[in-house]
Amino acid sequence: MSSPEWNNPVVKWVDDRLPVFSLMHHSTAGYPTPRNLSYWWNFGSLALTVLIVMVVTGIFLVMSYTPHVDMAFDSVERIMRDVNYGWLIRYIHMNGASMFFIVVYIHIFRGLYYGSYKGPREILWILGVVILLLMMGTAFMGYVLPWGQMSLWGATVITNLFSAFPIVGDFIVTLLWGGFSVDNPTLNRFFSLHYLLPFVLFAVVGLHLWALHAVKSNNPLGVEMKQPEDSIPFHPYFTIKDLFGMGLFFMFFLFFVFWAPNFFGEPDNYIPANPMVTPPHIVPEWYFLPFYAILRAITFDIFIIPAKLGGVLAMFASIILLMVLPWLDRSKVKSCKFRPVYKWFFWILFLDCIFLGYLGKKPAEGSYIIMAQLATLYYFAHFLVILPLMSKIEKVVDLPESISAAVLKKSEDA
Amino acid sequence: MRKLFIAAVAALTLSASAAQAAGGAYVPELKDVNWSFEGFFGQYDQKQLRRGFQIYNEVCSACHSLRLVAYRNLSALGFTEDEIKEIAAEKSIRLPHGDAGALLNDDGEFFTREAKPSDKFVSPFPNDAAAIDANGALPPDLSLVAKSRLGGPEYLYSFLMGYMDEVPEEVAHQKGFILNEDKSFNIYFPGYYTSMPPQMMDELVEYEDGTEATAVQHAEDIVAFLNWAAEPELDERKSLGLKVMLFLLVLTAMLYALKRKIWADVKH
Ligand code: HEM
């Protein structure tokens, strides 16, 4: 795919020296995309959209926010009450975090279903997991900033986890806190990092897209593009499809902003932080709940690993595990469309994750603990036992010859 | 579709709160009130907010602060500038010292000045310790209670109307339940006993607009006012929301038409 000849002399002059126009051409009209992508392929561009929305609203929030324990809560309320359209900016940012996770979780499950993590997309996938980790760090620190009860106590519980690590644990916790409890220095450093990480995210998303453009998109059939008829240019076909998806998505997003702005939030965070009063239930934001359930499921020592450390390790492992997924799943077939057995395990894993989320919200007592232990066990078994086993024993359905062959057949049948 | 969605969201919230309540002690379902500010088109009823303000001003403000609301904000309830000046001037703000730098005046009292419209609502107690000392527990600031309690306005209404002379069976039979003569029994309050005496009774205040002064009326009015204190932007939020949605609906429909057109001759 060569660059077009630029007719406009100014464009040509610039492009010869800095090929921005060629770059734009390569990633739009000159970028081949599988013709059969479904709407599940809209979620990557949606994630990028939310990231931009978060950065823009965040920058405006910072203009009126004060990162000090005595002033943070009131400065946020000032944004809500006295800053022009401050309530709108804050509610977009607040709900945007939830939207980001909804979109990215769908994006990830899309990848799991269609085997998008398999070669040649391993690095693309791993960068995705890095993005997920960065998002989690950013969201966690952002939640601390309004300095409500849940900000303080959520931060206390989560930072305390690091004390589970032997030898270095206490050192790490003191470093995170900048003192001996979650206090003003903690708020200051979290604020600083919360501003920094989204830009790191931008950089990693850039790599993610670079990798994508090198290996091109997977598609619902999981069969790579082989011939020109398999693809259509990204522009105009997917620019318009992504724009339409964005219209739908913004309606969903803004419904919450305008009519249920605190739907995803915890009421307790509207009480100013108070180190003397512990709230009855400390729960993380909904998007952390499955991991929180895994953390609390480990209530027993594993050999020399004490329960608390075990929980922390299990929680981190549940995410890091995704990075080695391309090497756990050895099946030659990517898409679940052609994996009659594994397809069902995919859906069981999906339900398992929802169930873990439900358990994360429940108090860690009685039968909830046992259920969380079983659900955690299943989560790990899926990746470490079922998936490798499936790659060996599953009888897959015959793959179509090519994307275009399958598309033509479908339209003839119709 | 939209109805379906709202129903789904409502069902989720309800089941979530029911499940949470079911976790421990017996708590009856929250009383349901039809607020004017509910739903897609719901807005505050300005007259009701004024009645609610009257109750706050004459009753609750004896114990509770409302520190995030300023007197100037009362213009949203339809008070004129002069009226707001008068309302503010009834309160006095303690000064750290007088003009000459003395801490106390000739009568041995703190220097004070009249509150101005730009001031936040003046708190009844100088600090938390004094408030606890006078009331047996801290009367929480009311600026955000409508948002900081699960159930929001429904909870506030239920709490205000939840006082009972007799402890109901379901509670009395619970393990570990102990009668407490010093406090008031309230079926909705976590732990049942609250240091706040019951407030809602007929003719608590005499409404300036002539509305009949029943306990139920009072409770609805004060809660509407507290919801306004917590979400003063609600009216503007919803009306802007409707315009934005309408715009998005048209835009998305056009994008869809365009998508159909562009993809018309592509088999996929
Ligand atoms: C800030 C968050 C993210 C942004 C902005 C983003 C952006 C994108 C975009 C624009 C695409 C191409 C469109 C598409 O296939 O949907 C894409 C593809 C992809 N992303 Fe992401 N992504 C994010 C997070 C993640 C995460 C967390 C993962 C996995 C753990 C991931 C894995 C993938 C994979 C495997 C593909 C290729 C999919 C395919 O071709 O089938 N991404 N991403």
Query: Of all atoms in ligand 1, which is nearest to the CA of residue A116?
Result: 41
* Contact between chains at A251 and B267 (C-beta distance less than 8 A): no
Q: Would you give the end-to-end CA distance of chain A in angstroms?
A: 34
* Structural domain contains residue A381: yes
pLDDT value for A3: 73
* Structural domain contains residue A410: no
pLDDT value for B204: 96
**pLDDT tens per residue, range B108-123:** 888 999 999 999 999 9
* Structural domain contains residue A303: yes
Q: Which residues of A378-401 are buried (b: 16+ CB within 10 A; e: fewer)?
A: bbeebbeebbeebbeebebeebbe
| Cβ(B256)–Cβ(A244) below 8 Å | yes
Distance CA A396, CA B191 (A): 59
* Structural domain contains residue A23: no
* Structural domain contains residue A133: yes
* Structural domain contains residue A147: yes
Confidence of residue A143 (pLDDT cuts 50, 70, 90): very high
Query: Of all atoms in ligand 1, which is nearest to the CA of residue A50?
Result: 5
Query: How many folded domains does chain A comprise?
Result: 1
pLDDT value for A4: 85
List of chain A residues whose C-beta atoms are within 8 Å of the C-beta of residue B233: 80-81, 87
pLDDT value for B20: 42
The residue to mutate among A37, A106, A107, A221, having the most atoms of ligand 1 within 8 angstroms of its beta carbon, is A107
Question: Average per-residue pLDDT in chain A?
Answer: 96
* Contact between chains at B232 and A259 (C-beta distance less than 8 A): no
**pLDDT tens per residue, range B141-187:** 999 999 999 999 999 999 999 999 999 998 988 888 888 889 999 99
pLDDT of residue A355 exceeding 90:
yes
pLDDT value for B100: 85
Query: Of all atoms in ligand 1, which is nearest to the CA of residue A322?
Result: 30
| Cβ(A107)–Cβ(A75) below 8 Å | no
Distance CA B129, CA B185 (A): 24
pLDDT value for A413: 83
**pLDDT tens per residue, range A198-247:** 999 999 999 999 999 999 999 999 999 999 999 999 999 999 999 999 99
Distance CA A379, CA A373 (A): 10
Q: Report how far ligand 1's centroid is from the alpha carbon of A128 (Å).
A: 6
* Contact between chains at B68 and A77 (C-beta distance less than 8 A): yes
**Nearest alpha carbon, ligand 1 atom 29:** A128
List of chain B residues whose C-beta atoms are within 8 Å of the C-beta of residue A35: 266-268
* Structural domain contains residue A21: no
Parts of chain B with a pLDDT under 50: 1-23
Distance CA B142, CA A153 (A): 22
pLDDT value for A412: 84
Of A37, A244, A259, the CB nearest to B252: A244
Is A25 among the annotated ligand-binding positions? no
Of B248, B249, B268, the CB nearest to A407: B268
List of chain B residues whose C-beta atoms are within 8 Å of the C-beta of residue A79: none
Global pTM?
A: 0.92
**pLDDT tens per residue, range A266-316:** 999 999 999 999 998 899 999 999 999 999 999 999 999 999 999 999 999
**CA torsion B167→B224→B85→A82, rounded to 10°?**
120
* Contact between chains at B148 and A271 (C-beta distance less than 8 A): yes
CB atoms within 10 A of CB A215: 15
| Cβ(A336)–Cβ(A113) below 8 Å | yes
The whole domain housing A306 covers 36-217+233-394
**Residues contacting ligand 1 via CB (< 6 Å):** A 41, 43-45, 47-48, 51, 104, 107-108, 111, 114, 116-117, 121, 124-125, 128-129, 131-132, 201, 205, 208, 212, 217-218, 322
* Structural domain contains residue A358: yes
Active site residue A217: yes
Of A36, A91, A280, the CB nearest to B268: A36
Is B1 among the annotated ligand-binding positions? no
**pLDDT tens per residue, range A314-350:** 999 999 999 999 999 999 999 999 999 999 999 999 9
**pLDDT tens per residue, range A41-65:** 999 999 999 999 999 999 999 999 9
**CB proximity A407 to B under 8 Å:** yes
pLDDT value for B83: 97
pLDDT value for A175: 95
**pLDDT tens per residue, range A250-263:** 999 999 999 999 99
ipTM of the complex: 0.93
For residue A203, the domain's CATH number is 1.20.810.10
pLDDT value for A394: 94
Is A26 among the annotated ligand-binding positions? no
pLDDT value for A65: 98
pLDDT value for A2: 64
Which among A279, A280, A307 has a CA at the least distance from the CA of A294? A307
